[in-house]
Amino acid sequence: MQDPITKDYMMVLKYCENGNLRNYYLNHKRLTYVSKINKLMLIARELQDIHNAGKVHKDFHSGNILYRNNYLDISDLGMCQPANNERHSVKNEGIYGMLPYVAPEVLRMY
């Protein structure tokens, strides 16, 4: 969708009343293991769809997994790139993302 005044592009998404996965789990502390495993399977399927399209998310964490009505959506695909894109390695482009979600082995490289 394009803003008619500024001509900037914007994305309109469905409202996720439960927020991201982290917030959902903080507010629903009595979930069963079966429920958690089912959610993990949904996440795996969504991530597999991204990988089957030949892409890598590059900023995957619980804050980018939105939860609504028993559905999970992976969001924030702004850093998503082709899986075989060799010129965009960690050493060439640096470290991006939220520090709490950056893997320790990535930080050790610097």
Report the residue count for the chain.
Answer: 110
Per-residue pLDDT at 88: 47
Per-residue pLDDT at 86: 57
Task: List the chain pLDDT tens, one digit each, 110 residues.
Answer: 788 899 888 777 778 888 888 888 888 888 898 988 998 999 899 889 888 988 887 778 888 888 887 778 887 766 666 766 655 444 555 655 556 666 666 666 65
Distance CA 19, CA 12 (A): 16
Q: SS3 sequence, the chain?
A: CECCCCCCECCCCCCCCCCEHHHHHHHCCCCCHHHHHHHHHHHHHHHHHHHHCCEECCCCCHHHEEEECCEEEECCCCCCEECCCCCCCHHHHCCCCCHHHCCHHHHHCC
Per-residue pLDDT at 73: 84
Which domains, ranges and CATH numbers included, belong to the chain? Answer: 19-83 (1.10.510.10)
| Token digits of residue 68 | 């609504």
